Amino acid sequence: MFTLQDKITLVTGAGSGIGAAIAETFAKAGAFVFVTDRDQASGQDTVNRIMSQGGKAEFVVLDVSREEACAEIARHVLTTKQRLDILVNNAGIGHVGTMMQTTGADLDRLYAVNVRGVFNMSRAFLTDMLRRRSGNIINLASIGGVVAVRDRLAYCTTKFAVVGLTKSIALDHAREGIRCNCICPGRVETPFVSARLKEYPDPKKAYDEMAATQALGRMAKPEEIAASALYLASDESSFITGTAFLIDGGWSAGK
């Protein structure tokens, strides 16, 4: 169950956190994983961990906001492996602020990565997926793409766009062999979040306040988000497309 044996996969933003957990989970399930990230050191670390456990992976440096860079990695993947079975658009960035605390440049910066990055990568691989009438695209959105989150105007705007982009791809290409879904996590205890918590005067109090947003009273682990990605990547989810898959610890239950 949930095997990805001999599947060719690619995960963006896989140097740490959720992306790294997805890459490692896919490799353990038998997939070859192209690990991409802007940070070469962290991306290579992910590849090294995968290979030390007997998995198969290759690192490629990538800035998803650059359309030509996305086209170039598609050429590389299709030349070396002849196909891509599963694309995970995980790379993303955040911003804290209301509209009055957000500049146009802030919004443009998030849009370039969070929305155009998903668009760029999906478009780069979709032509070949359509030719083969087979492809699975998984986008990382957020609970902030389903309900508004206070002081996260730019972030929520882009993540709502990712949900819409996901549904549009799914609907447009469902009868051409393409599935497209997105995962909407609540707060996740990633290295980035852990580092930010240490900046608070009382890190434990800050953690408890963030954790309280989830009905379960804690943040998710990256591996829990990766488990949902594995399900969506597997043949067991073959009847699921166009779905915003909430992994939010009950955050949205009371909304």
Cα–Cα distance list, 48 to 15, 59, 61 (Å): 11, 9, 15
> How many Cα atoms sit within 13 Å of 255 on the Cβ side?
14
Q: Pick the closest to residue 128 from 87, 172, 161, 162 (CA basis).
A: 87
Which residues, 6+ apart, have CB-to-CB distance to 252 below 8 Å?
Answer: 143, 146, 147, 246
Catalytic residue among 111, 155, 207, 231: 155
Give yes or no: 155 in active site.
yes
Q: In which residue are the tokens 């849009």 written? A: 111
Residue 232: which of 139, 122, 131 has the closest Cα?
Answer: 139
Give the residue numbers annotated as catalytic, written as ranges: 155
